[in-house]
Amino acid sequence: MVAQPAAPQVWNVDAVDAAGQLIATWRGVRLHDSGPLPRNAAWPPTLLSVFLERCAMDLGLDEGLRVTVSCGQPDDSVASAVSAVPSPALSADFRPTGGGRHAGPERRAMNTVTAPGIGALAGFALMLRAPVPVACGWATVESPHRQHQPTDGMAPAYTQLRAQMRESSEVLAARLDAVTACMKMADVATDDPAADRLTVIQTTGDGWAVFALGRARIACVVVEMSGVSAPVAIAILTRQYAHRRRTASRTASPVSTS
């Protein structure tokens, strides 16, 4: 099932089969947000995609972000399915956005990146599309017997995470592995001086951590995923434009400055 917002809490919904063929369509579906619900089971890829996309945008990442977690599909099939997503319906009072740097996400060129799964994630793929520079990374939580030692460039962020998140060292290490893979995709090496600017700026009660790296924001969460034997840390990066303003809509835990 693929959905696109037509207006706040009004959605156009297209249901497609495994081949991407349209099965049913609903237009102008009105939804009421009842708030976050506890999740006691592993996420299937289709629902995980929606969860990651919605939460990342709520945490301040670009509103044009689209997330697809796929299983057992070639990359070209995934790309075809995503490119077939219809545009949201225009409301009666819609006014076209002017071009240039203030154009809305639907008017700017889309960037697409894919992180193929390896190891326990083999057969899965994480794909992002956004009208801004974008990157992603993911990693499974390793055995507690593995030694976890962050690199010098990642040590400050690790210290912040350890102070803010009540998680084991192996879960924190998986978060940093995912963030490191995300930064590598964005051409920022962990031993680069720019990595020292990576800081934790927000944590939430439901397990999200948000990092700042210049004008980029990285949102990271650890989830259980159907078909994967270990928890998975997922990191998503979008770069913000200097003119963009956004008010955070999720409850944040304070970040220690000590």
Q: Is the model's pLDDT at 126 over the cut of 70?
A: yes
Output the pLDDT for position 10: 83
Q: What is the mean pLDDT of residues 165-184?
A: 92
Q: Is the model's pLDDT at 8 over the cut of 50?
A: yes
Output the pLDDT for position 32: 77
Indicate the pLDDT class of residue 1, thresholds 50, 70 and 90: very low
- Is residue 211 within a helix (H) or strand (E), and if so which, with residue range? strand 209-213
Q: Is the model's pLDDT at 182 over the cut of 90?
A: yes
Output the pLDDT for position 108: 61
Mean pLDDT of the chain: 78
Count of CB atoms situated within 10 Å of the CB of 26: 11
Q: Is the model's pLDDT at 35 over the cut of 80?
A: no
Cα distance between residue 88 and residue 5, in whole Å: 6
- Is residue 124 within a helix (H) or strand (E), and if so which, with residue range? strand 124-130
Chain center to CA of 247 = 18
Count of CB atoms situated within 10 Å of the CB of 252: 14
Contact 250, 157 (CB under 8 A): no
Q: Is the model's pLDDT at 81 over the cut of 70?
A: no
Give the SS3 label for residue 125: strand
Q: What is the mean pLDDT of residues 99-105?
A: 44
Which stretches of the chain are DSSP H helices?
45-58, 75-83, 155-164, 169-185
- Residue 210: partners with Cβ closer than 8 Å, 6 or more residues away: 59, 60, 200, 201, 202, 203, 217, 218, 219, 220
**Residue 19 structure tokens:** 């081949």
Output the pLDDT for position 79: 40
> Which percentage of the chain shows pLDDT scores above 70?
70
Q: Is the model's pLDDT at 98 over the cut of 70?
A: no
Give the model confidence (pLDDT) of 189-213 as tens digits.
666 665 557 899 999 988 999 999 8
Indicate the pLDDT class of residue 243, thresholds 50, 70 and 90: low
Cα distance between residue 169 and residue 143, in whole Å: 10
Give the model confidence (pLDDT) of 143-163 as tens digits.
775 667 777 778 888 889 999
What order of strands is seen across the sheet that includes strand 232-239? Answer: 134-140, 232-239, 216-223, 209-213, 199-204, 252-253
Of residues 78 and 255, the one with the higher pLDDT is 255
- Residue 98: partners with Cβ closer than 8 Å, 6 or more residues away: none
State the residue for tokens 């006691």: 40
Indicate the pLDDT class of residue 33, thresholds 50, 70 and 90: confident
Q: Where are the domains positioned within the chain?
A: 1-31, 42-84+109-243
Nearest CA among 241, 168, 258, 176 for reference residue 209 = 176
